């Protein structure tokens, strides 16, 4: 252990601790625009400088580690004027269009200018030319003009996801973050995960907004607009609406959506239960008929793009199940449309997702199937095509929309989802945390295979923790070896094992983002390790409080099979709920 002094306070921290983290322990939050806890320390912004007795120069506290008896000053005049100078230099390169920027009032650069008392920049604007905005991606918009070259997006793409879609390009005043050959994100290997947008300190990387289109749909009297909410929204939205980190706001979220004007408020958790019905039966079929193992979950669209791009020869390992978002769309525009007597052409399905890649997924027309259902019935011709999911809003977009209409979120009464596509179980909410899809599938697979009741419902071994977790679950007398991975870098490890013929697993869950959807690229900013932990605790709390905790016991799902689908993996299930992948 190392003992040192920070602003006159003595602290003891482990050897190897960064000075910035040691200051935190002493209760001083040293600002930085480039440091990313657990991911990278780049030192590019120069904001985190501190003064150390005996050192001639100021030191970037994110790059250096503590030494015994160090005496650190975090806010000497020298430190404060250096921080201010470095910030003014950054502002000289940044468009001062805060009022119209998407990150207005949630921008680290803006907040720091306020904190450091920067009211004007002494420097002439250096970045004179306007660079083109890259809006080629279905999910992400990059504005290089607002970029401060902090490198966080590059680091997260390279080190957390191992995707390397973006890089620092060129030198000096021309330096920019861009894609291979500057061709735009859509032509790159980008998986649309949006982790870059989550760590960007300014408005340089944002989601592609569907807000206006959704306002227009809601206002159109000829349309019936259905909304579905992903499991992780209920533990993220509250933060963006001014409540505590990880607050569980299921009921307020429902009321807010109704106030916004949606005609029906449904739940992606309904179709998460449906996914479990199909996926657990697919697993059982593969286990008993000698199908391809390990079977890997398929609900996270960034992960799907990753395996299609980097491991096309492993696609047969993917479950053929569509994601719950897409299952919801196809069931809403077939089963529900029939039941409610609504022309599916007049239905708009809006998803609220913690994930930017869900925008990409909704646009993949090969996944759509409601239209083919109606066309096969002779109801529509090819030129009347409609998609399953029309618009996808991230948690951040929904929060902006709620603020725009002036909702007093904190004081909303708890509302209830509409039936039947609003009913769900504890298994379904678990989807929002890494390991949850696996846990939910095991609850159903266990009871389906053994025909006995599963009493211990919580599989602690695969709950939030390491990037890769494994467990051996006894299904009756049979051991089932499973693994769970979150982030694409960890998925790579498991795929390499499969490629080398060394995978010991029968079933693998992969989630694209750190700790799963609750850490998705569309979640409120900031999202960090501690906040993700709090969101996960709320997910587990919601599961424990649900009256029904196993997907196969959801009465609305049972009714869906009785009156429409008939059986898991049946003909209609294959048409509406399963898909194929692109090499």
Q: Does 308 qualify as catalytic in the annotation? A: no
3-state secondary structure of 395: helix
User: Which residue is catalytic, options 23, 48, 157, 299?
Assistant: 299
Q: Which of 17, 44, 300, 538 binds ligand HC1 (CB under 6 A)?
A: 300
Report the helix count and the strand count for the chain, using DSSP H and E. Answer: 21, 17
Q: Does 137 qualify as catalytic in the annotation? A: no
Our CB check for ligand HC1 shows the closer of 203 and 231 to be 231
Q: Which residue is nearest to ligand HC1 (CB)?
A: 517
Instruction: Verify binding: residue 516, ligand HC1, rule CB under 6 A.
Output: yes
Our CB check for ligand HC1 shows the closer of 4 and 272 to be 272
Question: Which residues are registered as beta bridge partners of 205?
Answer: 142
Q: Which of 354, 420, 426, 519 binds ligand HC1 (CB under 6 A)?
A: 354
Instruction: Verify binding: residue 520, ligand HC1, rule CB under 6 A.
Output: yes
DSSP symbols for 508-559: EEEESSTTSGGG-TTS-S---HHHHHHHHHHHHHHHHH-S--SGGG-HHHHH
Torsion on CA atoms 171, 176, 177, 183, rounded to nearest 10: -100
Q: Does 299 qualify as catalytic in the annotation? A: yes
Which residues contact residue 451 at a Cβ distance below 8 angstroms, ignoring those fewer than 6 apart? none
Instruction: Verify binding: residue 198, ligand HC1, rule CB under 6 A.
Output: no
Instruction: Verify binding: residue 230, ligand HC1, rule CB under 6 A.
Output: yes
Q: Does 120 qualify as catalytic in the annotation? A: no
Q: Report the candidate in 267, 247, 272 with the shortest Cα–Cα distance to residue 427.
A: 272
Which span sits near ligand HC1 by CB under 6 A: 90-98, 150-158, 285-293, 323-331?
323-331
Instruction: Verify binding: residue 299, ligand HC1, rule CB under 6 A.
Output: yes
Residue 440 beta carbon to ligand HC1: minimum distance, rounded to whole angstroms? 10
Instruction: Verify binding: residue 318, ligand HC1, rule CB under 6 A.
Output: no
3-state secondary structure of 377: coil
Q: Does 101 qualify as catalytic in the annotation? A: no
Our CB check for ligand HC1 shows the closer of 158 and 437 to be 437
Q: Does 279 qualify as catalytic in the annotation? A: yes
Which span sits near ligand HC1 by CB under 6 A: 175-183, 207-215, 353-361, 489-497?
353-361
Give the separation between CA 491 and CA 510, rounded to whole angstroms.
6
Exposure of 471 in the CB half-sphere (CA atoms within 13 A): 18
Exposure letters 380-397 (e unless 16+ CB within 10 A, then b): beeeeebbbbbbbbbbbb
Our CB check for ligand HC1 shows the closer of 184 and 363 to be 363
Instruction: Verify binding: residue 231, ligand HC1, rule CB under 6 A.
Output: yes
Count of residues interacting with ligand HC1 (CB under 6 A): 20
Which residues contact residue 532 at a Cβ distance below 8 angstroms, ignoring those fewer than 6 apart? 464, 514, 515, 518, 519
Q: Does 553 qualify as catalytic in the annotation? A: no
Residue pair 483/508 in contact (Cβ under 8 Å)? The answer is yes
Instruction: Verify binding: residue 358, ligand HC1, rule CB under 6 A.
Output: yes
Positions 408 through 437 that interact with ligand HC1 (CB under 6 A): 431-432
Instruction: Verify binding: residue 521, ligand HC1, rule CB under 6 A.
Output: no
Q: Does 366 qualify as catalytic in the annotation? A: yes
Give the separation between CA 198 and CA 521, rounded to whole angstroms.
6
Q: CA distances (Å), 50 to each of 25, 53, 74, 281, in order? A: 15, 10, 5, 59
φ, ψ for residue 510 (rounded to 5)?
-120, 130
Q: Footprint of ligand HC1 on this chain (CB under 6 A)?
A: 230-232, 268-269, 272, 299-300, 323-325, 353-355, 358, 431-432, 516-517, 520
Q: Which residues have a catalytic role annotated?
A: 279, 282, 299, 319, 358, 361, 366, 517
């Amino acid at each position: 252990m190392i003992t040192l002094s920070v602003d006159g306070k003595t602290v003891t921290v482990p050897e190897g601790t960064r000075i910035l983290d040691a200051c935190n322990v002493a209760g001083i939050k040293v600002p930085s625009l480039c440091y990313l806890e657990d991911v990278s320390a780049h030192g590019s912004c120069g904001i985190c400088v501190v003064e150390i007795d005996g050192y001639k120069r100021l030191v970037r506290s994110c790059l250096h580690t503590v030494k015994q008896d160090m005496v650190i000053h975090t806010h000497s005049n020298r430190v404060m004027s250096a921080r201010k100078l470095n910030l003014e230099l950054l502002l000289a390169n940044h468009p001062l269009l805060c009022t119209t920027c998407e990150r207005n009032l949630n921008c680290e650069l803006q907040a720091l200018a306020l904190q450091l008392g920067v009211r004007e920049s002494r420097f002439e604007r250096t970045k004179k030319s306007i660079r083109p905005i890259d809006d080629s991606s279905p999910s992400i918009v990059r504005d290089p003009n607002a970029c401060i070259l902090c490198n966080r997006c590059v680091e997260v793409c390279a080190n957390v996801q191992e995707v390397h879609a973006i890089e620092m390009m060129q030198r000096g005043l021309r330096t920019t973050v861009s894609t291979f050959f500057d061709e735009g994100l859509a032509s790159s290997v980008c998986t649309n995960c949006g982790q870059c947008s989550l760590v960007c300190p300014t408005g340089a990387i944002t989601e592609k907004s569907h807000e206006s289109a959704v306002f227009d749909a809601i206002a159109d009297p000829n349309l019936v607009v259905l909304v579905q909410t992903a499991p992780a929204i209920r533990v993220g939205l509250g933060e963006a609406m001014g409540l505590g980190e990880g607050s569980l706001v299921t009921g307020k979220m429902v009321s807010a959506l109704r106030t916004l004007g949606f005609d029906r408020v449904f739940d992606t958790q309904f179709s998460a239960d449906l996914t479990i019905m199909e996926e657990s039966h697919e697993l059982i079929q593969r286990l008993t008929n000698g199908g391809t193992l390990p079977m890997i979950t398929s609900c996270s669209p960034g992960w799907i793009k990753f395996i299609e791009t980097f491991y096309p020869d492993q696609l047969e390992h993917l479950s053929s199940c569509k994601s719950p978002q897409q299952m919801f769309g196809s069931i809403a525009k077939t089963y529900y449309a029939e039941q409610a007597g609504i022309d599916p052409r007049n239905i708009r399905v809006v998803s609220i997702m913690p994930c930017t890649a869900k925008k990409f997924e909704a646009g993949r027309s090969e996944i759509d199937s409601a239209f083919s259902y109606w066309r096969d019935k002779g109801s529509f011709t090819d030129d009347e095509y409609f998609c399953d999911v029309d618009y996808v809003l991230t948690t951040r977009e929904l929060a902006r929309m709620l603020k725009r209409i002036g909702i007093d979120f904190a004081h909303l009464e708890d509302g209830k989802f509409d039936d039947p596509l609003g009913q769900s179980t504890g298994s379904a909410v678990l989807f929002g945390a890494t390991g949850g899809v696996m846990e939910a599938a095991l609850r159903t697979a266990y009871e389906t295979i053994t025909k006995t009741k599963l009493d211990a419902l919580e599989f602690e071994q695969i709950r939030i923790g390491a990037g890769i977790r494994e467990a051996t679950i006894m299904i009756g007398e049979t051991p089932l070896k499973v693994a769970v991975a979150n982030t694409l870098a960890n998925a790579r490890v498991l795929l390499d094992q499969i490629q080398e013929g060394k995978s010991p697993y029968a079933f693998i869950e992969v989630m694209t983002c750190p700790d799963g959807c609750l850490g998705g690229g569309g979640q409120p900013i900031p999202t960090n390790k501690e906040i993700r932990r709090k969101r996960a605790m709320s997910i587990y709390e919601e599961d424990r409080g649900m009256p029904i905790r196993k997907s196969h016991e959801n009465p609305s799902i049972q009714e869906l099979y009785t009156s429409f689908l008939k059986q898991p993996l049946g003909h209609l299930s294959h048409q509406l709920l399963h898909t194929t992948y692109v090499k």
